[in-house]
Structure formats: structure tokens, C-alpha cells
Amino acid sequence: MPTNFLNIWVLARLVQVSVAAVLGCLGMVVGLQIAWRWRDGQSSEAQLALERQAELVGSVMQVALLLEVLGLALALQLADHLVGGIRGAMCAFGVLASTWAGWPSLWLSVVTAVACATWVIFHRLDLSLPSPVLTRRKFLALGVIGPLVVADLALTVAFIYSLDFSVIASCCSVYVDDTLVNRQAARWVVSPGWAGWTGLVAAVSALVTSTVAWRRPQPGWTRTAALLSIAASVAVLPAVLGVVAPHVLGVPGHLCPFCLFHAQGYRIGWPLFAALFVAATTGLGLGMVELNRRTIADPAPLRKLGRRLARGSALAWALALACGLFPVARYYLLSGGVSVFGEI
């Protein structure tokens, strides 16, 4: 509905995603033109002009990245502030579930932000090289970024337009209860024992390998750290739902991740999911470094960037582990050795 757009949070989100889409499309168009006309090893006037345009596109895409990351926070804040206008919705979960475009718009925003972050890492790698051997690949990759930012804008507008403030939505507990009672497969995925140990092992493994890759930036460790960071970013999500959320909220069947962003959840969702985002993007960055290793003659820039990415990944996993273990340990100590699921 057109009146849905008359909200300060809606307007902020629309401005953010619109500017990001414009910058992303501008970067894609200019970047693809540069890739088409780029000639390695030439020093003509036309080539120098392309190099100046390349620097401009890099700056534009870095701004687009910042806007896309800001957009994730705005998307959560928007859904949270719309709770009061939709009856039955207790948190952002109910708002997103009240319309067909809610969840797709959020997930696409996550994918777009990760893609932009990975491209910026690729851009930084190209700038660190003595010769621009990755420039053509870098700008061809913008052919993926451009459609993503446009789709992000389209789905965000669809989500806002499709909101109906006259409906009675369901809170997160209704969906969770349905999952636990009627869906055996979903119940198994978030099972505290399986999910908790899988998430813990995955996070610790990613932390250890990233730390080793930071201290000893060898190709084998870098590849291992990249694979484990990417895999662990997905593997820990059932643990967040099935173990962390219940201990934070003190209710064994309450698996909602959005309640972790509220005061009653210590607002632990902000540092936790920010750490997982950084861990995923640095893992992808490490993987990208390894994929381009054979193209680059000088290993020094690869080693330097690999160490920086591995350090960021290690710090992110350390923060994620701290955020995940803190509520479990706190509940255990305050309850006198009793887990939220019963005796240990």
C-alpha cells in the first residue's frame, strides 16, 4: 500500500537501498566497459584513462558495500519498529512472516552484502599487486553485483508495499511450536545435542585454522581456514537457534533469533551475527586469494592480504564463540548446574 511508505524507518531503508542500487548499477556499467577495453601491459593514454576510471569504480563500490551492510541493520530495525503496527507480531519474525516478500528480502540483503564485501576484498587484492593482472576479472564480477543490488531494491519495495497493517500476524512462538511438534526434520536440525556440538566443533575448528593461517600464511592452512570459515558460518546457525537462543531467553522451546536483538536477550544478536558476517566474508576472501594464486607471480601481496583476512576471521570467530558460550555458561552458573533443557 502507498501509505506504508510514510514511515521514518521505511524512508531510511528506501533511501539506503536506492542509493546502493544506483551505485551498484553505475559500478557495473562502468566496470564492464573497463573490462571490455582493458589491455594488460599497455601504457597508452586510453589505458591510463581506464585506470583512473577503475579507481573511481573501486571507491563507488566500497561506498555501496558500506550501504549494504548498513542496510542489514536497517532491515532488522525496520521490521522491529513495525511490530507495533501489526497485531500478533511480537518481534521482527512476525513482521517478516506476515507477507510473502519478508523473508526473501532479508535473505537477499544478506547475500548482496556478502557479495559486495567479497568484491571489495578482490579489489584490495588487485590494488596490492605490482601489475593489474586481476583487473579484468574484478570488473567482470560486477556483472553479478549489479543485478543483486537491483533485486535487493525490488524485493525491499515489494516487502514494504505488501505489508498489511490490518492483518493479525503470528508471533515467532507459533512458528517454532509448529516446527517442534509437527516437523521431525526441522526438530532434529535444531536439536540441542546435535546442533550444539556441531556448532561448537565447527566454530573452534574455524578459529584454530584461521589463527594458524594468520601466524603461518601457507597455502595449505589458508585453504583450510577458508573452507572451514565458510562451512562453519552455516553450521553454527542451528546452534544459535537450538542452544544459544533458549539459554539467553530462559525458555527451552524459544528458538527465535530476532529476540536476541532485544534488551531481554542482552542484545547479544548484534555482536553475534556481526561476527558471523565478518567470519563468512573473510573466509570467502581467503578462498578468493587461493583461487587466484596461480595467476599472481609475486606471492608477497597474497601472503600479506591472507594474513590480514585470517586475522579478521580468527577475531570474528573468537567473538562469535564468546557470544555463544556466555549465555550458556551464565544460565548454568545462575541455575546451580542446570541447563535450560534440564539436568546436565
pLDDT of residue 265: 76
pLDDT of residue 344: 45
| Residue 178 pLDDT greater than 60, yes or no | no
| Residue 39 pLDDT greater than 80, yes or no | no
Q: What are phi and psi of 339, to 5 degrees?
A: -75, 165
pLDDT tens-digit profile of 202-237? 999 999 999 999 998 888 899 999 999 999 999 999
pLDDT of residue 149: 93
The percentage of the chain sitting over the pLDDT mark of 70, rounded to a whole number, equals 88
- Paired with 168 in beta bridges are 87
pLDDT of residue 262: 84
Alpha carbons 178 and 190: distance in angstroms, whole number: 13
The arithmetic mean of pLDDT across residues 101-115, rounded, is 92
One DSSP character per residue, 288-301 reads HHHHTGGG-S-HHH
Angle between the 269-291 and 219-235 helix axes, to the nearest 10 degrees?
140
Higher pLDDT, 158 or 80: 158
pLDDT tens-digit profile of 279-308? 999 999 999 888 888 888 778 888 899 999
pLDDT of residue 105: 93
- Paired with 224 in beta bridges are none
pLDDT tens-digit profile of 125-155? 888 888 778 888 888 888 999 899 999 999 9
The arithmetic mean of pLDDT across residues 89-111, rounded, is 87
pLDDT tens-digit profile of 43-78? 667 777 777 777 888 888 888 888 888 888 888 888
Q: Where along the chain do its domains lie?
A: 1-170, 172-344
b/e map 125-154, b = 16+ CB within 10 Å: bbeebeebebbbebbebbeebbebbbbbbe
pLDDT of residue 27: 87
- Which of 37-41, 81-85, 269-273 is predicted least confidently? 37-41
| Cβ atoms of 155 and 97 closer than 8 Å | no
pLDDT of residue 175: 66
pLDDT of residue 61: 82
